[in-house]
């Protein structure tokens, strides 16, 4: 059964390959295609199945390691880098930060030491791993394989990964414009953002502009990474409804060489920890408007990011609805200098089982100034005023972050 | 959730219907840099369509990895890159997201032209980033050199011939003719330099972008305004550059258009030197050809030397 399936897939792939490249040479006729497929099938069958093993076959000495592992140390390119983030912070009161790498108290703090590894596995797959070390231990932030050559614009990722929900969630802290994570990401998705073990299928639509459709199926459990779903209370998997599903459409519009806009729509659907088959849905939209004059000697760029989320949770005898978002502006005004401002708002509910203290709206305003000695180091000063309505006083904060990157780090996506 | 799925299905169907159909069977070539695009266009002629990822005035180290470039790569039959890690900061994620096996490193449509040139500045000892943005496999800026472009022209003809065997003869004929014209332009420039006094051949560069150009024209670089590759100039280094220019009599400063100009202009004013802005690549939008381009690059420097 499995063989039949795999050969059906192979036949489909062969047909797709033929269709996609039809303009180069006339594609194979159905007879030729059948003959090729049969030959491939014979070649890949177990040796004994098609031809008798020669009597004089030399005894094979099993190698202790596959060849690829043996040779991995002999000059193969493996992009490997360490990124260190440390911070010194002052807060007027105990901060109520929601991000797993946010500074949490006055004093020095360790935001993380990230080990990032990327490499091609073979002509078909790429490996991406991100391991974060902290004083509390090791954490596998991401470790997945990504296909490189599926037909019809399809791509699969499998493993532990950040889901492609919204704009900031699939990115790592060293690409952010601020020292801390947006409040709404920590409150709705989790302190580490939305991530899990699972499978993702994405499709690049054959349209004149960039349209990517993404769907993934991941674990719905994890306090850090699926808190609006099963969170820390893993109820186990009984059916296909017990996974967390993420759907997203990402579109890109270039306006000339200097301006561009990315627009995303995302949704997450899965069970929540209140039991009785209760479910949570989160909807989000994100806009990223970027101005970057090509050929600017100072490499000036300006970007505006808007991201909003709306969450609906079924709880016994009720349905909880809340929302939040942020708007941020980042401006690199000189080759080595960047500044930015961010405004956030997240609503609150009475009797929220996940955040019982967060009973009302919360505003937060942040501003930052960053100096880049080179592209491998950065110093960022950030000031923050946090206004949770249920607290009497605003919480003032000042943070100074130092980031150092060494080794070969893969380039980042747009 | 069901409504969202319906929406997705609608987009999928619309996408399939709107899929562009290629009317004429041309080889779709994507080149990272404008000069490589010009090579593909002049070698390929009517048999190819060419798209360029970085515009001629853009710093090739820093190109925005815009998603429309993913779309270009997803539909490409061939991808021509400069190599030597010039595009390392932006190209690899675009290739990975293109879902196109042909344009992956080692794929049948992938061509890294640096494999065909005689490399300069290859470090003989281990390097690290305290030396700035050094390229561990050699200096990647060989497209300012007519001789290197000639080698690239032949490599591109081979690539196109492999991907479109029917056109192979046409590609190699066009490549041979183009290489000959480049050669002639190259020799004319060398003859002009030879006619100038030896003392005028000392030059200063902003970034270490021109070792190949200087090898071609027989010039000597006495200083770079950047203290180390990719590290912006500081006052003490710039005053050393000024002293070197005075001591050696260098009267030409060469830089690409996307680097800041004030320091170069000030140095030029203080020493009576001429600042030459070398265009980063062939400007096909203005109808410029490869031969025009190499003549312009060499001509600008030679003109400044003769003053």
- Edge-to-edge strands of the sheet including B252-256? B220-224, B202-205, B252-256, B274-278
Region A192-220: what's the mean pLDDT? 96
Q: Is A366 within a domain?
A: yes
Pair (B34, B151) in one structural domain: yes
Which residue, B194, B207, B191, B111, is CA-closest to B153?
B111
The model's pTM: 0.85
Q: Is B256 within a domain?
A: yes
- DSSP lists the bridge partners of residue B256 as B278
Q: Is A314 on the interface with B (CB under 8 A)?
A: no
> Where does the pLDDT of residue A58 fall: very low under 50, low under 70, confident under 90, or very high at 90 and above?
very low
A195's CB contacts (< 8 A; 6+ apart) are A141, A142, A160, A161, A162, A163, A218, A222, A225
Q: Is B1 within a domain?
A: no
Q: Is A66 within a domain?
A: no
In chain A, residues with a C-beta closer than 8 Å to the C-beta of B231 are 374
List all residues of chain A from 44 to 83 with a beta carbon under 8 Å from chain B: none
Token digits of residue A227: 């808190």
Asked if residues A261 and A289 have their Cβ atoms less than 8 Å apart, the reply is yes
Region B162-169: what's the mean pLDDT? 96
Q: Is B10 within a domain?
A: no
- DSSP one-letter code for B282: -
Asked if residues A333 and A300 have their Cβ atoms less than 8 Å apart, the reply is yes
Q: Is B58 on the interface with A (CB under 8 A)?
A: yes
Pair (B192, B288) in one structural domain: yes
Region A29-33: what's the mean pLDDT? 77
In chain A, residues with a C-beta closer than 8 Å to the C-beta of B18 are 206-208
Q: Is B298 within a domain?
A: yes
- DSSP lists the bridge partners of residue B27 as B48
- In angstroms, the CA A168 to CA B271 distance is 51
> Where does the pLDDT of residue A26 fall: very low under 50, low under 70, confident under 90, or very high at 90 and above?
low
Pair (B76, B174) in one structural domain: yes
Q: Is A330 within a domain?
A: yes
**Number of domain units in chain B:** 2
User: Residues A103, A106, A109, CA angle at the centre, nearest 5°?
Assistant: 45
In A193-336, where do the E strands start and end? 195-204, 210-218, 244-255, 259-271, 279-291, 301-315, 318-334
Interface test with B, best of A201, A202, A285, A414 (most B CBs within 10 A): A414
| Mean pLDDT comparison of A116-120, A399-403, B285-289, highest-scoring range | A399-403
Q: Is A154 on the interface with B (CB under 8 A)?
A: yes
ipTM, interface predicted TM-score of the complex: 0.84
CATH code of the domain covering residue A170? 2.40.160.10
- Minimum-distance CB partner of B66 among A24, A146, A252: A252
Q: Is A255 on the interface with B (CB under 8 A)?
A: no
Contact B91 A262 (CB under 8 A): no
In chain A, residues with a C-beta closer than 8 Å to the C-beta of B97 are 155, 204, 413
- The answer on pLDDT for B31 being more than 80 is yes
Q: Is A25 within a domain?
A: no
Q: Is A110 within a domain?
A: no
Domain carrying residue A242: 143-404
Pair (B172, B78) in one structural domain: yes
- The answer on pLDDT for A386 being more than 70 is yes
Q: Is B11 within a domain?
A: no
Average pLDDT, chain B: 90
pLDDT on residue B242: 95
pLDDT on residue A45: 62
- The answer on pLDDT for A57 being more than 50 is no
Pair (B48, B113) in one structural domain: yes
pLDDT per residue over A249-302, tens digit each? 999 999 988 999 999 999 999 999 987 889 999 999 999 999 999 878 888 999
> Where does the pLDDT of residue A50 fall: very low under 50, low under 70, confident under 90, or very high at 90 and above?
very low
Domain carrying residue B248: 185-305
Tell me the pairing of strands A79-91 and A395-407.
Answer: antiparallel
- In angstroms, the CA A234 to CA A295 distance is 52
Query: Chain B closest CA to A210's CA: distance in Å?
Result: 6
**Number of domain units in chain A:** 1
Pair (B157, B225) in one structural domain: no
pLDDT on residue B21: 43
CATH code of the domain covering residue B49? 3.40.50.1980
Contact B88 A411 (CB under 8 A): yes
Which residue, B58, B110, B78, B107, is CA-closest to B257?
B58
Pair (B213, B190) in one structural domain: yes
Q: Is B173 within a domain?
A: yes
Q: Which of the two residues, B11 and B269, has the higher pLDDT score? A: B269
Interface test with A, best of B11, B67, B234 (most A CBs within 10 A): B67
- The answer on pLDDT for B254 being more than 80 is yes
> Where does the pLDDT of residue B75 fall: very low under 50, low under 70, confident under 90, or very high at 90 and above?
very high
């Amino acid at each position: 059964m499995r063989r039949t399936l795999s050969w059906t897939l192979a036949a489909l792939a062969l047909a797709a390959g033929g269709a996609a490249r039809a303009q180069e040479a006339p594609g194979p006729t159905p007879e030729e295609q059948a003959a090729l497929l049969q030959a491939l099938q014979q070649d890949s069958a177990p040796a004994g199945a098609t031809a008798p093993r020669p009597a004089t076959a030399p005894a094979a000495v099993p190698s202790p390691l596959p060849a690829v592992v043996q040779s991995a140390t002999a000059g193969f390119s493996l992009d490997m880098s360490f990124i260190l983030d440390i911070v010194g912070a002052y807060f007027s009161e105990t901060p109520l930060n929601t991000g797993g790498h946010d500074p949490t108290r006055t004093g020095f703090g360790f935001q993380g030491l990230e080990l990032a590894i990327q490499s091609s596995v073979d002509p078909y797959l790429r490996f991406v791993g991100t391991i974060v070390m902290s004083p509390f231990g090791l954490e596998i932030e991401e470790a997945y394989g990504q296909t490189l050559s599926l037909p019809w614009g399809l791509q699969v990722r499998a493993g532990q990964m950040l889901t492609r929900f919204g704009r900031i969630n699939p990115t790592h802290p060293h690409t952010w414009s601020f020292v801390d994570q947006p409040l709404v990401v920590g409150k709705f998705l989790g302190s580490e953002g939305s991530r899990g073990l699972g499978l993702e299928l994405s499709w690049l639509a054959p349209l004149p502009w960039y349209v990517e459709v993404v769907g993934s199926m991941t674990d719905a459990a994890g306090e850090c990474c699926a808190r609006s779903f099963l969170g820390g209370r893993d109820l186990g998997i009984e059916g296909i409804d017990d996974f967390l599903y993420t759907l997203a459409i990402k579109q890109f519009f270039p306006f000339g060489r200097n301006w561009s806009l990315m627009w995303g729509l995302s949704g997450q659907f899965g069970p929540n920890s209140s039991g009785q088959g209760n479910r949570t849905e989160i909807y989000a939209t994100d806009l990223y408007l970027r101005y970057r004059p090509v050929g600017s000697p100072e490499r000036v760029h300006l970007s505006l990011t808007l991201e909003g989320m709306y969450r609906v949770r079924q709880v016994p005898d009720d349905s909880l609805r809340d929302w939040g978002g942020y708007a941020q502006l980042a401006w690199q005004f000189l080759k080595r200098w960047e500044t930015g401002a961010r405004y956030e708002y997240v609503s609150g509910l009475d009797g929220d089982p996940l955040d019982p203290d967060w009973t009302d709206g919360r505003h937060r305003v942040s501003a930052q100034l960053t100096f880049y000695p080179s592209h491998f180091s950065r110093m960022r000063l950030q000031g923050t005023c946090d206004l949770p309505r249920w607290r009497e006083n605003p919480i003032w904060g000042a943070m100074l972050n130092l980031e150092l990157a060494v080794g070969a780090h893969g380039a980042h996506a747009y | 959730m069901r409504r969202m799925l319906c929406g997705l299905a609608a987009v999928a169907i619309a996408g399939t219907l709107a899929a562009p159909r290629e009317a004429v069977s041309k080889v779709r070539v994507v080149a990272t840099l404008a000069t490589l695009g010009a090579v593909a266009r002049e070698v390929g002629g009517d048999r190819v369509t060419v798209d360029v990822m970085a515009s001629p005035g853009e710093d090739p180290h820093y190109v925005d990895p815009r998603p429309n470039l993913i779309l270009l790569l997803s539909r490409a039959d061939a991808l021509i890159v400069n190599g030597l890690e010039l595009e390392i900061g932006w190209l690899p994620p675009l290739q990975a997201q293109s879902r196109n096996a042909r344009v992956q490193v080692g794929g049948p449509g992938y061509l890294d032209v640096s494999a065909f040139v005689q490399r300069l500045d290859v470090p003989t000892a281990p390097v690290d980033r305290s030396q700035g943005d050094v390229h561990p496999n050699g200096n990647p800026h060989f497209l300012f050199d007519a001789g290197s472009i000639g080698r690239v022209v032949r490599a591109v003809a081979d690539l196109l011939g492999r991907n479109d065997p029917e056109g192979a003869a046409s590609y190699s004929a066009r490549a041979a003719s183009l290489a000959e014209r480049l050669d002639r332009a190259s020799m004319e420039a060398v003859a002009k330099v030879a006619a100038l006094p030896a003392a005028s051949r000392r030059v200063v560069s902003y970034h270490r972008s021109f070792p190949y150009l200087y090898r071609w024209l027989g010039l000597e670089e006495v200083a770079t305004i950047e203290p180390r590759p990719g590290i912006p100039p500081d006052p003490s280094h710039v005053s050393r550059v000024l002293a070197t220019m005075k001591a050696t009599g260098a009267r030409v400063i060469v830089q690409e258009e996307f680097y800041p100009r004030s320091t170069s202009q000030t140095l030029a004013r203080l020493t009576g030197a001429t600042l030459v802005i070398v265009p980063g690549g062939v400007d096909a939008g203005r109808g410029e050809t490869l031969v025009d381009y190499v003549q312009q690059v060499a001509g600008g420097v030679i003109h400044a030397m003769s003053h």
